[in-house]
Amino acid sequence: MTRTALPTTDDLRARARAALKNIGVDVAEGAGLHARTPLTGEDLFGLSAATDGDTEAAVAAARAAFLTWRTTPAPRRGELVRRMGQLLRDHKSDLADLVTIEAGKIRSEALGEIQEMIDICDFAVGLSRQLYGRTIASERPGHRLAETWHPLGVVGVISAFNFPAAVWSWNTAVALVCGDTVVWKPSERTPLISLACDHLLARAVEEVGAPSGVHRLLLGDRAVGEKLVDDPRVALVSATGSTRMGREVGPRVAARFGRSLLELGGNNAAIVTPSADLDLAVPAIVFAAAGTAGQRCTTLRRLIVHRGIADTLVERLTAAYAELPIGNPFDDTTLVGPLISVTALDAMRGALTRVQAEGGEIVAGGNRCLAEAAPEAAYAEPVLVRVTEQTDVVREETFAPILYVLTYDTLDEAIALHNDVPQGLSSSIFTRDQQEAEIFLSAAGSDCGIANVNIGTSGAEIGGAFGGEKDTGGGRESGSDAWKSYMRSATNTINYSSELNLAQGVSFL
């Protein structure tokens, strides 16, 4: 595997400052939080974390703004999101720089993340004229039934490090056109891109004359998130992150009868059948498993391959893995950047030790790289492991580029293995057999929120609803009718007759 040379922390600090300056953010250095880069593993700046008072003020401002925003016509709310989308377009390159510096994404994926933000703004602007309710046939003469949709209130957005900007935009663009206001608690590992996004939205707010409290940013760790979780003024908590986080957040929000939208961990698999086109499957598998250094919620973690083609496929994947350039994500030739931290690398090594003890065989990759050039950083070769059983470690999400390869004999067995994990986010099948594809997509097939054919598990478009079942939390964000999670519906019965007709033929008086 080739290695690309790393930049210095000083270079990265200067590049981050330049990007922030172009966007218009003046970073005030402070204490309590560190902006850090996984490219070298070193700190860039000290920043101030939000205090309890800041959190209180942010929620109060968002609640006050909601009282105006909820009655602003939805297409006018869309004007704000249209302007936000334009500003994201204007600053795409600078924003992508910050994603690379803080999350370690290669340039093409960082630009893709910002494009996804632009796409959801376009979608939300259209949505602002399509918040449709139904008219329902009434059983009573002279009556009409209607369903209307109203804004919910303040939405607390808690986001993860690996999509530090896009997840915010999926929530915020849709919440804003729905008439909600937003308080955002981003990952403590990605404060700079958060400051940049907040600044651009604040600029759009000012330019279109929206209430300034429609959006507030709170930098800090989980303690700041917990304040939002427990605050009864926060109508919806939309939280993206690990299943561990969701297990803590979900019950706390439910205890106060708040709403939550949970987007949690995945353990995504692809089934490769004997008829699969391997020329298509191999690059799709490598992108899904090794892309973003295995740090997408939709990363391909399990490959379930028909026994008859397993050796051939593993051989081809091993050859492809051997060619993966690892290193500086700003270098156009690099395909695999760093893991977010040495702790993540330790978790990867721990999983590999466990799987080997359980009989797994590492067939490609798995070594740490660039440790001399950047001892605080965590670069690792994506790894392929052949396993004979779906043991406990295989059933867990290890947030690193480990692909476990299992074999099967019948499609029923493959689907059973596929679904036999706690998570239910993304899935795919590689086949040229229409019957196999349809079975996989049917009610008896994949149990995930995303089920694909002849394409990998990662890289969703914004037009569809995004989310998963079981330990993935059940939430849906982004496109389709995910907007309904950000609104409340009311059923209206309107009597335009002069008679009092009771439903179900009840007579009274």
CB neighbours (10 Å) of residue 451? 18
CB neighbours (10 Å) of residue 24? 14
Question: What is the nearest approach in angstroms of ligand NAD to the Cβ of residue 171?
Answer: 11
Beta-bridge partners for 304: 271, 406
Query: Active-site residue among 102, 263, 381, 477?
Result: 263
Q: Are 233 and 61 in contact (CB under 8 A)?
A: no
Question: What is the nearest approach in angstroms of ligand NAD to the Cβ of residue 60?
Answer: 20
- Residue 263 a catalytic site member: yes
Pick the closer one to ligand NAD by CB: 167 or 345: 167
In the complex, the residues that contact ligand NAD under the rule CB under 6 A are 158-163, 167, 185, 187-188, 221-222, 225-226, 229, 240-242, 245, 248-249, 263-266, 297, 397, 399, 425, 472
Question: What is the nearest approach in angstroms of ligand NAD to the Cβ of residue 301?
Answer: 10
Query: Measured on CA atoms in the order 144, 149, 152, 157, is the torsion positive or negative?
Result: positive
Pick the closer one to ligand NAD by CB: 33 or 158: 158
Question: What is the nearest approach in angstroms of ligand NAD to the Cβ of residue 296?
Answer: 7
How buried is 333 (Cβ within 10 angstroms: 0-12 exposed, 13-18 middle, 19+ buried)? exposed
Question: What is the nearest approach in angstroms of ligand NAD to the Cβ of residue 50?
Answer: 12
Of 320, 383, 316, 322, residue with least CA distance to 355: 383
Pick the closer one to ligand NAD by CB: 273 or 452: 452
Pick the closer one to ligand NAD by CB: 230 or 376: 230
- Length of the chain measured in residues: 509
Pick the closer one to ligand NAD by CB: 245 or 465: 245
Q: DSSP string of 371-413?
A: TTT-TTSBEE--EEEE-SS--TTTTS--SSSEEEEEEESSHHH
Instruction: Report H helices in 24-135.
Output: 52-69, 74-90, 92-103, 107-127
Residue identified by tokens 């409290």 is 213
Residues tagged active-site: 263
